[in-house]
Every structure is written in structure tokens, then in C-alpha cells.
């Protein structure tokens, strides 16, 4: 790994972690329920890890922060893979990191919807979480320039 790719990986990890932390903070800063869903999904993802590895106990805040950083590193790995296989060179430096963070939350949402569908009898949470997952993946594709949407008329 050369210095440039190491810097871009660290930058993508920082951007993805910042986006994830922003999505988490959004649930506390905006008291409008659709904007609180990403916060809830991040907590659900961490709770799934707690079920698998044991309760975080008094270190919950520190371990949750480490969880967000870990997701940011996974997001950077996704961004790096997309950057290496993509021919698009016109993207702003922050876009792939942000897109990968949105995609991660979208995948968490779809996995949550699948687990509720398999284990439960309620269908409304499946629709809400599944719809949010699809919306987050679509937003990720738009931010990462996988899908182009014209927002102003062309001349």
C-alpha cells in the first residue's frame, strides 16, 4: 500500500465515521421520527453485537464509539473497493466515504427487517425498516454517483 492509498483510506474512514456519528446525532437533534430511524438502526446493530458477545455494561459509551469507528473502517474498505473498480474520477473526495456509510446503515436496516420478518408476526416494522433500508441504499447510490439523477434541467 503506497502513501496515497493509505491517506485516502484514512480519509474515507474519517468521512464514513463522521457520517455515521452525524446520523446517530440526528436522532437526538431532530425530533421528527423519520430522521430518528438511522439512530435507532445503529443502536440495533450494536445491540446485536451485545447479544453475541455479552453486555457492554458500564463501558457502553466507549464501546459504542468503537463500534461507530469500526463501521467507519468497514465503510472505508467499501469505498476503497469501489474507487479501485470505478472509472469515475470526477467525484469529490468525500463522496465515496459518505456513500459507504449510508450503504452500511441501509444494510443494517434490511438485516433488521429480515430478522423481524423471520422472528416476528408484526409486518409494520418490516415495512418501515425495509423501506428505510432501500431509501438509504438509493441515497448511497446517488451520493456515490452509481445512479445519476438530474436535479436541474440540462441545456
- 21 and 72 in a single domain? The answer is yes
Same domain assignment for residues 59 and 113: no
Which of 38, 68, 85 is the C-terminal boundary of a domain?
85
Confidence of residue 8 (pLDDT cuts 50, 70, 90): confident
Q: Number of folded domains in the chain?
A: 2
Give the domain range for residue 101: 91-154
The answer to whether residues 129 and 80 belong to one domain is no
Task: Give the model confidence (pLDDT) of 103-150 as tens digits.
Answer: 999 999 999 999 999 988 788 889 999 999 999 999 988 888 776 666
Residues 147 and 108 in one domain: yes
Percent of the residues in the chain that have a pLDDT greater than 90, as a whole number = 45
Q: Are 119 and 112 in contact (CB under 8 A)?
A: no
| CA distance readout (Å), 39 to 21, 24, 57 | 9, 4, 20
With 0.95 as the threshold, say if the pTM is over it.
no
pLDDT value at 36 more than 80 = yes
Amino acid at each position: 500500500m503506497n502513501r496515497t492509498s493509505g491517506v485516502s483510506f484514512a480519509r474515507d474512514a474519517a468521512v464514513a465515521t463522521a457520517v455515521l456519528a452525524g446520523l446517530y446525532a440526528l436522532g437526538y437533534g431532530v425530533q421528527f421520527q423519520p430522521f430518528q430511524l438511522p439512530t435507532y438502526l445503529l443502536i440495533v446493530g450494536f445491540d446485536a453485537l451485545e447479544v453475541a458477545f455479552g453486555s457492554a455494561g458500564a463501558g457502553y459509551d466507549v464501546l459504542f464509539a468503537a463500534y461507530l469507528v469500526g463501521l467507519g473502517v468497514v465503510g472505508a474498505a467499501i469505498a476503497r473497493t469501489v474507487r479501485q473498480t470505478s472509472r469515475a474520477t470526477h467525484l469529490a473526495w468525500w463522496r465515496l466515504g459518505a456513500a459507504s456509510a449510508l450503504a452500511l446503515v441501509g444494510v443494517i436496516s434490511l438485516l433488521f427487517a429480515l430478522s423481524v420478518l423471520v422472528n416476528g408476526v408484526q409486518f409494520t416494522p418490516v415495512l418501515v425498516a425495509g423501506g428505510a433500508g432501500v431509501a438509504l441504499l438509493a441515497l448511497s447510490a446517488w451520493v456515490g454517483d452509481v445512479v445519476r439523477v438530474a436535479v436541474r434541467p440540462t441545456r
